[in-house]
Amino acid sequence: MTDLEFMDHAEALLKAVELTCDAINDTTEADIDAQRSGGMITMSFPSRSQIVINLQKPLHEVWLATRSGGYHYRWVDGAWRDTKSPTLFFEQLTQDASAQAGQALRFAAR
Summarize pLDDT for 45-93 with one digit per residue, the tens.
999 999 999 999 999 999 999 999 999 999 999 999 999 999 999 999 9
pLDDT of residue 110 exceeding 80, the answer is no
- What is each CA distance from 47 to 23, 51, 54, 64, 67, in whole angstroms? 20, 12, 21, 19, 12
At 58 the three-state DSSP class reads helix
Average pLDDT taken over every residue of the chain: 96
Q: Report whether pLDDT(37) > 80.
A: yes
CA distance 40 to 62: 9
Q: According to the model, what pLDDT value does residue 8 have?
A: 97
pLDDT of residue 55: 98
Contacts of 28 (CB under 8 A, 6+ apart): 103, 105
Task: Classify residue 18 by burial, with Cβ atoms within 10 Å: 0-12, 13-18, 19+.
Answer: middle
- State the Cα–Cα distance between residues 89 and 97, nearest whole angstrom: 12
Question: How confident is the model at residue 109, as a pLDDT?
Answer: 86
